Chain A
């Protein structure tokens, strides 16, 4: 999949639609040609009727009745045959276009997925998952009207117009000119409509944006306003936005509708018939043509209307498809984590981790971390503490390469994280974060996510280490129970499944974001036991919210405003009487230290 991805991205200057459609361009052209030829054939019966009329009304008396009969049957036969064959060709064209659509949408979805799998993880945190779904599912589905319908619609319109024009001009060029008069008229009105539409476009788009954000606020805010009994608040701005939009919509469509109605009336079959008959009568009275000559024009000229209208409808849809194509392309061009040339790949030697003058800024101005340097020696416990917003979580996420530092570098076993294959990183650095993510799959698959080939025994051992084995066995289908279906687990139980998942990978380095804050009492103990067990003998980096949990760490880093303010052991830091000492005093841990007897109550 990823090898074909550049095919979509390559043609630099072409419009978004062209670029999205490149892989199936050939098939769409074939589909359009089939539709064109098919449509030409479906118009044959009209000429057939005209021909029959000609022979029965013209000089029928002159020829033998039998010959005329035969000719009528031939005409009917050919007409019916071409009609069915023509429609079959059109159908085949439509089928090809639809199948091409099926293929290209699948291709695009996978291309987007593959692309997103290598963008910085931070990209996901700044976006709602709904946006990704919107682009990958809904936007790509919107392309349907373009891929599956547009090309064949063009084929049909071109085929119909081409064959009709040729046929009519071959019969009589003067009648042909007047019979086709309404069609240029249609385009004139259409252009007028477009122009009057564009005039109010900006206002319309602005209102559209306003109603979209008012709606977001309204639907998200309802629970809040209901709780405060002030339902009017969010409702009012929603109501105003709705009314404002309706007003803009009317302003936008009124001139448009007038011109469009004229355009549509212009190519209504009635109009075309009227024009043909009126001029036909004039031409006959002038003796330029015979009355029978009018018939082919009355039959064939109105046949152009339907395909032309279809084409117009398709053009209307093209606008939304273009927007969708642009969004999909933008997604395909999301910057990925700095690409590594194959030769630059580095393999870490050992598990020591060094932060070297690391800085990270969200966006332009928000500096989350600046000039942070420290080393996690293999086999030691390092705790990160500090007030919320100090950058603790950013530090952990940089180490996990959720995003890359904007300054400085982080090394694992001497190799820059950016040059290590990501699979290699996660084999060495495991993590258990506050936010637990299980996927909609069996418990077994969830634990074995990182090692699908793990044996049942290994999976169960990991589950045992995470204190969750017994609970899993109690589920309706044991390890085969599906998360969210028959495996309804509590937050703490989910956390333990995620620990089992990390245990199975057996990483030498472990990052813990104090993972127990939201768990229940019994779960919290179970999780703590699991973590204690898991942490043994590994290099540990702990993000601590409660200072007392990390008071025995080998080293405590105190972060403040994105920089290391202090570091040392608990005793050293207390003795210093600085920030840590103040935080300690403020946290009221005093009594706990006294009651550290409690620590011995617990099993490990």
Chain B
């Protein structure tokens, strides 16, 4: 847990160390000040108020120092908090900015957002609310044990032996509920997933709720969550009881020892100073126990803190894409895949199995194949969403791994389904593609993307704000602005996914037009969906089960009557599909 915190703090780790040391010193000082009550009480009980005064002054002085130190400890704790809220947030930001684009799935994005906001806030408050009381609660009793040894060694010995025993009890009870804790988190995650599904698939669930089936799965998941929660409660209640009983058993042992000794003394001659010492020792024992009880009560809080830090650690453990030490610039606008293998997760089958492909600069290549055949993955690997698992991907004759991310970004523009817009105006969003573009150039790009008309209709024109994430625009408009953004970049290589970017007729027309215009001017790699696009291509690559099964010009492939020919037939058939009037009796469709 500490390791994660130190990692999270990075260069700010000294801030935490300073804080921790201050908290330890504070604990020691508290212990010493409490110890000062020994001589005070000793003389007081001997009815010697005169000799009490210097010790009492020492105690009060210690009290004031404790008081002042407490303030510094808390301020140091706040500094740790600020280091987390500022330094660690920056560090996490820098880290995720280097992660492969492919990592940014909706789930990961949501998780990241949660950690950066709430997660960091919770961790930042740990020093003040959790660490300070625990450190002080552990250190102070250690000092008191020393004092007990001086006053009455048997009590000191019991207290000393008790500390490691108690520590192992705490560790044991922590492990007792750990499994139940993990099970609960699993059920919680399951139920959360069901809730997301419940919200996303609400229309379907409701429409198909004829026999109450729509709620059933959610009900089951929430019930499972309740059951595992109840199990965790019983186990952690058990651990809490064990913890406090362990502390109380120590208390009882100390009490009984003291009583035994006192009774022995009462039987013989009364050594007043010895009895006074034991009575004072019992007072120290009560302080000792009080501290330990407080620490034992932090079990659940610590478990929560571990969970929060764990979520942060997981993010830091995601490997960023390696950047080369001596980046090489691409020579031209060619693309090449050499015997590429790729899979999305270690336990999943390969999506690409030995794909080799050469795309000449300035040519147009259409990737076709059934969904799951790997064509999207090929496009993603060219844009370095991920690194190939085996084999290499080259752009301009240079392996992507030997290229800096800026060089690659300068080489490639992409029109995928990603149409996230930033808060700001339409112009600002299009200008992301080329920061120095003039308004006229932006309007040109907008015209190509089919949004010029819409922009001209807006009273503020290009300066119209799009809202957070582009909420003020419709989905199609957002997508077309994203297309304008990609077009204005004017990169030597353009990747287009027609299947996801050309959802409606208007976008289809925009993309077809852009492809026709750019053909021959830059390297085009298109995941093709429309017949017209495929027909335009210089080269067609047919993928099946992660392998290239056919490759050639449209004319060549038509000749050989293979999969491409079948694709053409299916496409034609699909295009000819008509919904027939039901009244015609026989549903010829």
Contacts and interface: CB of A to CB of B under 8 A. Distances in A.
A520 B569 CA distance: 13
Given A46-B286, A551-B578, 14 more contacts: A102-B230, A109-B191, A121-B202, A124-B202, A124-B203, A217-B422, A218-B93, A228-B409, A270-B66, A271-B67, A501-B204, A505-B208, A549-B577, A598-B572
B78 A388 contact: no
B468 A521 contact: no
A298 B283 contact: yes
Interface in B255-305: 255-256, 258-259, 262-263, 266-267, 270, 272, 275-276, 279, 282-283, 285-287, 290, 293-294, 297
A81 to B, nearest CB: 10
A449 B208 contact: yes
B499 interface: yes
Given A117-B206, A265-B67, A229 B409 contact: yes
B34 A269 contact: yes
State the main secondary structure of chain B at its contact with A. helix
Nearest to B348: A488
Interface in B310-346: none
A414 to B, nearest CB: 21
Interface stretch (B151-159, B221-229, B354-362): B221-229
Contact of A261 (B71, B229, B489): B71
B200 interface: yes
Given A94-B237, A265-B71, A452-B211, A72 B41 contact: no
Interface stretch (B84-92, B167-175, B437-445): B84-92
A475 interface: no
Contacts of B263: 69, 72-73
A98 interface: yes
Contacts of B191: 109, 137
Interface stretch (B52-60, B389-397, B550-558): B52-60
Interface stretch (A125-133, A162-170, A171-179, A342-350): A125-133
Nearest to A504: B208
Interface in A529-549: 531-532, 535-540, 542, 544-546, 548-549
Given A45-B251, A264-B74, A598-B576, A299 B405 contact: no
7 contacts: A49-B283, A215-B116, A216-B468, A229-B409, A295-B283, A388-B506, A501-B204
Contacts of B34: 269-270, 273
With a 10 A CB-CB cut-off, give which of B199, B286, B579, B589 has the most chain A CB atoms: B579
Interface string B181-221: 00000001001111111111111111111110111111100
Interface stretch (A5-13, A194-202, A376-384): A376-384
Nearest to B384: A226
Interface string A106-143: 10011001101100010010010110110011000100
Contacts of A295: 41, 279, 283
Interface string A473-507: 00000000000000010111000001001000100
Contacts of A375: none
A45 to B, nearest CB: 7
B487 to A, nearest CB: 12
A388 B101 contact: no
Contacts of B222: 106, 109-110, 113
A229 B74 contact: no
A549 B578 contact: yes
Contact of B275 (A57, A235, A434, A488): A57
B520 interface: no
A56 B275 contact: yes
B213 A518 contact: no
B469 interface: yes
A313 B294 CA distance: 13
Sorting the interface of chain A by its residue count into under 10, 10 to 19, 20 to 34 or 35 or more gives: 35 or more
Contacts of A542: 579
Interface in A552-603: 552-554, 587, 592, 595-596, 598-602
Interface string A436-454: 0111110000001111110
A223 B233 contact: no
B574 A229 contact: no
Interface in A285-315: 285, 291-292, 294-295, 298-299, 302-303, 306, 309-310, 313
A294 B44 CA distance: 9
Contacts of A600: 576
A237 to B, nearest CB: 8
B211 A379 contact: no
A517 interface: yes
B79 to A, nearest CB: 9
A79 interface: yes
A60 interface: yes
Contacts of B160: none
A219 B572 contact: no
A268 B573 contact: no
A88 B93 contact: no
Contacts of A546: 505
A102 B589 CA distance: 56
A61 B219 CA distance: 73
Interface in A55-76: 56-57, 60-61, 65, 68-69, 72-73, 75-76
A253 interface: yes
Given A91-B240, A525-B573, A216 B113 contact: yes
A129 B110 CA distance: 11
Given A219-B113, A229-B410, A388-B506, A521 B567 contact: yes
Given A84-B248, A226-B101, A302 B290 contact: yes
A592 B56 contact: no
A381 B112 CA distance: 48
B562 interface: no
Contact of B41 (A60, A277, A452): A277
